[in-house]
């Protein structure tokens, strides 16, 4: 009779986990940040660890988005990024 309660708590615990897609997004952002190698490796280990929760995901995402290189300094920016940058400059 109490099995449904256990299942409910298991669903909530699984919902708090960070998906693989979110981890891939963090890794992509990390590649675009100019962190030293030792710092980047620590971040990468934290992203790939099973202990990553939603709160820490949000903190890492904010940190990486604030530290991403400007489009002018990236080696090979995506076309979408170039388009957005041109729109920003032209005030479109």
**What residues pair up with 17 in beta bridges, in sequence order?**
53
Q: In the chain, at which residue ranges do the beta strands (DSSP E only) sit?
A: none
Label each residue of 32-54 as H, E or C: CCCCCHHHHHHHHHHHHCCCCEH
Domain ranges of the chain: 3-90
pLDDT tens for each residue of the chain, 92 residues long:
567 777 777 766 665 578 899 999 999 999 989 899 999 999 999 999 888 888 999 999 999 999 988 878 777 888 988 898 899 889 87
Are the C-beta atoms of 35 and 43 separated by less than 8 Å? yes
Which residues, 6+ apart, have CB-to-CB distance to 92 below 8 Å? 86
User: How many other CB atoms sit within 10 Å of the CB of residue 23?
Assistant: 16
């Amino acid at each position: 009779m109490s099995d449904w309660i256990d299942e409910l708590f298991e669903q909530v615990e699984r919902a708090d986990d960070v998906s693989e897609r979110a981890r891939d997004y963090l890794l992509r952002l990390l590649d675009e940040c100019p962190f030293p190698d030792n710092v980047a490796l620590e971040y990468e280990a934290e992203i790939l660890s099973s202990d990553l929760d939603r709160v820490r995901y949000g903190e890492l995402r904010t940190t990486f988005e604030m530290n991403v290189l400007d489009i002018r300094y990236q080696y090979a920016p995506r076309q979408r990024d170039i388009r957005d940058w041109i729109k920003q400059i032209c005030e479109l």
